[in-house]
Structure 1
Amino acid sequence: MRLTRIDDTLSVAGQPTLHEIAGLGRQGVTTLINNRPDGEEPDLPGTAAEAAAARTAGLAYHHQPVTGASLGRAEIDAFRAAVAAAPGPVVAHCRSGTRSLTLHVLGAVLDGRLRRDDVLAFGTRHGFDLSGAVAWLDAHAPDAAG
């Protein structure tokens, strides 16, 4: 699993193995957020197995599945709340990390911490294509800070 540090609180990643989840607590991570729906791919460990591995590692665990079609303000707000409530570093994961970073970026734009016009460059700086986040903003929040 490749962790991409976004800031002092959040890192995003692709799908971790159960062994990698077990090691997150030793790295100082306090919370794991899984943004993948169960059954998205046949070889996923699944929510129950991830939650058990996270508990064993001493991590809080949140399953907040999203897809492009299901992404809305409720999911963005839930993600922001989980990150804000974490007592320390958070790792959020999906298939590649893009979905998790998209949730973070959309929340940052909607609450004024990031300018909409800076989204693509922010993604590029971290190695992600956030054109989907821009498309979401165009469709759902056209008046978001530019």
Structure 2
Amino acid sequence: MIRPVDDETMVGGQLYPERIADLGVKMIVNNRPDQEEPGQPTSAEIEAAAAAAGIGYRHIPVAGGFSDAQVQAMIEALSAADGPVLAFCKSGMRSIYLWALARARMGDGADALLEKGAAAGYDLSPIRGYLG
């Protein structure tokens, strides 16, 4: 399920290459490591489908916590997008967390981020202390 977070960002669970062309986004951010589970499309497969549809693509795999480099890479992806961004992982949770951490560093307030997360159906309170 893809959920809007704000006018510029959506998050969701696993994407499949055959669905990418119809998403209406300008950038896809893949937060899943390859081979996280059997049958999952690879980053290369998703990147190829994105390229064929004229959509930008970034692979920022997250497993076991968030690093400064991953947050910075998300900032760069959000900043480079010329239109809506869709970030995905298995459930959308890592993606919304990484989005919130990036947006906090970009100057968004913690309360606004918590509200946007809640409106999209995600609880950001576990990372509240990292949002400023």
TM-score normalised to the size of structure 1? Answer: 0.80
Counterpart position of 1:140: none
Indicate the percent of aligned positions where both proteins have the same amino acid. Answer: 40
Contact 1:119 1:134 in 2 (8 A): no
Structure 1 position 127, deviation (Å): 0.4
Counterpart position of 2:20: 21
Deviations 1:16-70 (A, max 9, x none): 122111322xx2x11111010001111111111111111111111111101233x
| Residue pairs, 1:48-127, within 5 angstroms | 48-69=44-65, 71-115=66-110, 120-127=114-121
Deviations 1:92-146 (A, max 9, x none): 111111111111111222343122x5654443221012244236x2xxxxxx63x
Q: Structure 1: give runs of 5+ residues left out of the alignment.
A: 138-143
**Root mean square deviation of aligned Cα:** 1.9
Which ranges of 4 or more aligned residues in structure 1 deviate by more than 3 Å? 117-122
Contact 2:14 2:91 in 1 (8 A): yes
Higher relative contact order (CA 8 A, sep 6+): 2
Contact 1:36 1:93 in 2 (8 A): yes
Counterparts of 2:63 and 2:124 in 1: how far apart (Å)? 14
Q: Which amino acid aligns with 1:127?
A: G
Counterparts of 2:113 and 2:27 in 1: how far apart (Å)? 25
Tell me the SS of whatever aligns to 1:4. Answer: strand
Contact 1:14 1:94 in 2 (8 A): yes
1:133 paired to 2:127:
yes
Q: Which amino acid aligns with 2:48?
A: A
Counterpart position of 1:3: 2
Q: Structure 2: give runs of 5+ residues left out of the alignment.
A: none
Counterparts of 2:3 and 2:52 in 1: how far apart (Å)? 23
Counterpart position of 2:31: 35
Counterparts of 2:116 and 2:73 in 1: how far apart (Å)? 22
Q: Which amino acid aligns with 1:94?
A: C
Q: Which amino acid aligns with 1:91?
A: L
